[in-house]
Amino acid sequence: MLLGGTGFSRRKTLTTLIGVNFCRIVVRSGGAIPSRSAPRSRAPAVKITQLPEWSSSLESTAAHTQSLKKLLTAVYALQALSFLFPVTFIVGVVLDYVKRGEATDAWLASHFRWQIRTFWFTVLWSLLGGLTAGFGVGLLILFATAVWLIYRIAKGWLNLSDGKAV
C-alpha cells in the first residue's frame, strides 16, 4: 500500500502493510534518481522502522473485529443447536443484543441485525404455526419456518466466514 513519497526526491518514503504490523521503509538514493536504462552505481540504503501509533490501534481494532467474529460464529452455532435445545436460541439473541453496539464495521453490524431478525421472525412464525397446528396448515407453517431458519443460519454463517455483510 503506497501512502507517501514521490519519484523525484532524493529520499523516498514508502509505507507498506506487512501482515497486521505497519512499517515505514525509507530508501535513500545516492544522488539523482537514475533513469531506467542507466545502471545503478550502488544499492540504496534501506531502514525499517515501526510505526507504533498506527500498529497499536490497528492491532486492537483487528483483535476486536476477530473477537466479534468469534462471538457471531458462536451465536450462529447456538441458533443451529436450537433445533435440539431451544434455550440456546434465546441465549444467542441475548448475546446479540448485548454486543451489537460494539460493532464498528457495517458488515459486522449486518450480522447482528440478521441474527436478531432471524430470532424474532422465527418466534413469530413458530407461534403462528403452533396456534394453527390443529387445522393442519400450522404444520406446514412450522415446516416452512424450520427450512427458513436453516437457510438463514447457513447464509449468515457462510457470509461471516467470507467476511461479507448479509
Q: What is the pLDDT of residues 84-126, one digit of tens each?
A: 999 999 999 999 999 999 998 999 999 999 999 999 999 999 9
Considering the domain boundaries, does residue 4 fall inside one? Answer: no
Whole-prediction pTM value? 0.66
The answer on 84 and 43 residing in a single domain is no
Considering the domain boundaries, does residue 96 fall inside one? Answer: yes
The answer on 97 and 37 residing in a single domain is no
- Say if strands 21-28 and 45-50 run parallel, antiparallel, or are unpaired: antiparallel
Contact 81, 88 (CB under 8 A): yes
Considering the domain boundaries, does residue 123 fall inside one? Answer: yes
Query: What angle (nearest 5°) sits at the alpha carbon of residue 97, between those of residues 96 and 103?
Result: 70
What residues does 28 pair with on adjacent strands? 11, 45
Close Cβ partners of 23 (under 8 Å, ≥ 6 residues apart): 15, 16, 48, 49, 50, 51
For residue 154, the enclosing domain spans 63-162
The answer on 156 and 79 residing in a single domain is yes
pLDDT of residue 46: 58
The whole-angstrom separation of Cα 97 and Cα 70 is: 16
The answer on 126 and 87 residing in a single domain is yes
The answer on 79 and 45 residing in a single domain is no
Q: At what angle do helices 106-131 and 87-99 cross, to 10 degrees?
A: 150
Percent of the chain exceeding pLDDT 70 equals: 65
pLDDT of residue 7: 47
Considering the domain boundaries, does residue 3 fall inside one? Answer: no
Q: Is the pLDDT of residue 19 over 80?
A: no
Q: What is the pLDDT of residues 43-81, one digit of tens each?
A: 555 555 554 555 566 678 889 999 999 999 999 999 999
The answer on 99 and 22 residing in a single domain is no
The answer on 83 and 113 residing in a single domain is yes
The answer on 16 and 69 residing in a single domain is no
The answer on 78 and 45 residing in a single domain is no
Considering the domain boundaries, does residue 5 fall inside one? Answer: no
- Cα–Cα nearest to 89, from 128, 123, 55: 123
Residue with cell 393442519: 136
Query: What angle (nearest 5°) sits at the alpha carbon of residue 140, between those of residues 139 and 145?
Result: 95
Question: How many separate domains does the chain show?
Answer: 2
Q: List the grid coordinates of 48.
A: 525499517
Alpha helix (H) residue ranges in the chain: 52-81, 87-99, 106-131, 137-162
The answer on 80 and 40 residing in a single domain is no
